[in-house]
A and B are shown apart, each in its own frame.
Chain A
């Protein structure tokens, strides 16, 4: 019976909502092009694109996770573990396919287990994935005895270090992920159901959506894509490194939130997430070019995340 007066979306809020991050991205890109030496060079832009390729892939599935009202902290560990496992299996069998299969299957399994705990058993996603983050990180160290596992297969080296049309293969793979998950989000019942669950889980359940199943699928996809990103990263580095990508999960979530994905679920746009990923990458890249010491870069990244969360709050109020 009680209800507050209806808020009307202002014209500014609507423009901001749909194109705000693209605008920020354009301004940032322009500013860096003009103000930062060596930014607008083919070599630098290629390096920039490569640097964000891993985050970009995982941001696709993290977007689904957040849109459904959950999140996943285990992705950084899965990236490292998949690289180590893939390298180990390739070295022992001599087969790239076997290494891929083992790494992807274990990534999907980790995601599936996360999903079962969160969706079926109702354990908080923070706790569940905090636990699996540590478990999987540990498994990576155990599998490699704490050392980098060098890859001796040329085929994998080609995957990480060749280019097509002047663009490195990992960047193409990231673009492919963006395209695939963009279609999944916007053009399929899976994407719409994900947003509905994040928007109101109880209403989605009463409307007959298979809430538990969809959440488990999302977490499984998340594990699968993180493992794939880990394999590509290992190919670039020509080794599986058990201590890589620490804090990676937070970078991915930052990029998504910067890209307007609501932490309370129900709202996600792929274009904005791409913008969020690129903004993070450009800031990092520009700071490197400007020789800002890494210690300060942490502070800057934290500030950006805070700004992104403030933005999320601001949007919820409008």
Chain B
């Protein structure tokens, strides 16, 4: 479908991971001399698309077209050589090296066997002029503010002959003034005939900066507006969320008994204002927000993984002495972290070990020796109860699929007397079958009187499972919806940044 006059085209791009189709035959094109917005909810497939473009992933099917020619990059080096640059939020620069060394990393000018310092400096100065930055190339990169580092990254890309530059939410940590500078550079690149792909959540930026826009949803292409005249913000939001809510959630009304979890004035890193909320016994509360809105930070404060700088957390009326997961767990507040592999499982240990890890402390002989009967029976019972698919309880947990690893972590906490269950992205990267089993389990826990806090970046998931929804935006709780008032449009509106980057 990508016509030859597109500088950059995506043609039937498909990317499959085990159990997940991250991109499903996506096709659209970006013209030379234009800024093209790429939009979509978290998990819509934007990051995957950028990774294919940068050569980090090889697509399962389809290809990228440059000037009409089909390309499949086998490595990031090939993509760079073909004139593609992707500027991520996490910049790929070396803080300990100078600006000049960073700009020309991997292609230093030489005289014989020696580094040609004069040529290095001259070339660095030329590249910095391209982005209009007045920086001494001999400055150590780490001393520059983030905005200038971004400019260095752009200059580095131009120095490598990039004709296509993709930005991944470049303004998320820039001030108003820095954003203006960045926009000026991007417009300048556009006017010089570069094709720009611009990933963003900010509606205002789309209308201010971009000439065209494409929306992805669930890995599929929804719409491409080749011109933005006549396109409204509401229309874009609608195309981002407009998806049917399936009935996998099986939501049932439950009795809500007050006095479950009470959070008062909780403050700490990642939050711009103290947070207070209550969750009744038997209630499921959902936290929605964009990536980086502060939800994970809040959950880590709640469970004691990060010591809070203020406020208190009460479980069934009793204050938890903050600052350690140990005290939280003993009070009955348990936490399933977002990054399952890094923070949840002990990969080399067995499934049974991973399940019994925490609860065994109250099942010891003489307070010290393992009760082998309990160890075996509990692991077997939890594996059966949650339907963890494993060859044996002694199998190392790293050999299980993501969904079964997640179930094993839930099993770890169901071995305890839980009062509050905090789940950060519990279904990320999990196939739909395991998802619905986890939803059923959450309902069951709530029905048994637990208070559930669930963080999700998937709007249908939050809407489907939560009794009440809190929306976070840029480090604050921005809105609250009851199940009745929560429409996809309203919740997403509340989560999107209102203005161009606040200063």
Contacts and interface: CB of A to CB of B under 8 A. Distances in A.
Whether A associates with B in a native complex is: yes
Interface in A201-247: 202-210
Nearest to A186: B370
Interface stretch (A107-115, A189-197, A270-278, A286-294): A189-197
Nearest to A197: B346
A199 B341 CA distance: 11
A38 B342 CA distance: 53
B361 interface: yes
B399 A1 contact: no
B91 interface: no
A188 to B, nearest CB: 5
Contact of A199 (B329, B330, B348, B401): B348
A203 B343 contact: yes
Contact of A207 (B18, B412, B429): B412
Contact of A1 (B303, B412, B429): B429
Interface residues of B, number: 40
A266 B348 contact: yes
A188 B349 contact: no
B345 interface: yes
Given A6-B399, A187-B370, A207 B358 contact: yes
B330 A266 contact: no
B325 A205 contact: yes
A31 interface: no
Contacts of B328: 208
A201 to B, nearest CB: 9
Contacts of A166: none
Contacts of A190: 368
A9 B391 CA distance: 12
B369 A1 contact: no
Contact of B342 (A8, A187, A203): A203
Contacts of B348: 199, 262, 266-267
A188 B368 contact: yes
Contacts of B460: none
Interface in A1-23: 1-3, 5-9
Nearest to B57: A2
A200 interface: yes
B389 to A, nearest CB: 12
Contact of B361 (A5, A6, A189, A205): A189
Contacts of A7: 399
Instruction: Report which residue of B17, B349, B402 has the largest number of chain A beta carbons within 10 angstroms of its beta carbon.
Output: B349
B335 interface: yes
A47 to B, nearest CB: 37
A192 B370 contact: yes
B496 interface: no
A233 B49 CA distance: 65
B364 interface: yes
B305 A187 contact: no
Contacts of A5: 18
A200 B345 contact: yes
A2 B361 CA distance: 34
B319 interface: no
A7 B396 CA distance: 11
A189 B364 contact: yes
Given A2-B57, A200-B342, 8 more contacts: A3-B18, A6-B399, A188-B369, A203-B345, A207-B412, A208-B325, A209-B326, A266-B346
Interface of A: 1-3, 5-9, 187-190, 192, 195-196, 199-200, 202-210, 262, 266-267
24 contacts: A1-B22, A2-B17, A2-B57, A3-B18, A3-B402, A6-B400, A6-B401, A8-B399, A189-B360, A192-B356, A196-B353, A200-B342, A200-B343, A200-B347, A203-B342, A205-B305, A206-B305, A207-B358, A208-B325, A209-B358, A262-B348, A266-B346, A266-B347, A266-B348
A-B residue pairs, 4 tightest by C-beta:
A199-B346, A208-B329, A266-B348, A1-B429
